[in-house]
Amino acid sequence: MGKYDKQIERSKQMLAEAQKKYDEAVIKLADASPGVRETVLGTYGRQIEEAKSMIATFEGAND
């Protein structure tokens, strides 16, 4: 078991949650104004990228 396995697992959970929220928002915001849609999807997109970055960082440190 690696030193950062718990952090990796939590980051993967964060990624899954953010991806689910993003996918749900795409459907819910289909008729929203472009500005609202961009803002919400951008927020979830940043959360997805942050989680991916955390996973990569912890996996690299776990080696």
Tell me the pTM.
0.88
pLDDT reported for residue 62: 87
Q: How far is CA 32 from CA 4, 21, 38, 41, 55, in A?
A: 40, 16, 10, 11, 32
Nearest to 51 by CA among 25, 17, 2: 17
pLDDT reported for residue 44: 98
Distance in angstroms (rounded) separating the CA atoms of residues 21 and 7? 21
Distance in angstroms (rounded) separating the CA atoms of residues 55 and 1? 16
For the segment 9-60, what is each residue's pLDDT rounded down to a tens digit? 999 999 999 999 999 999 999 999 999 999 999 999 999 999 999 999 999 9
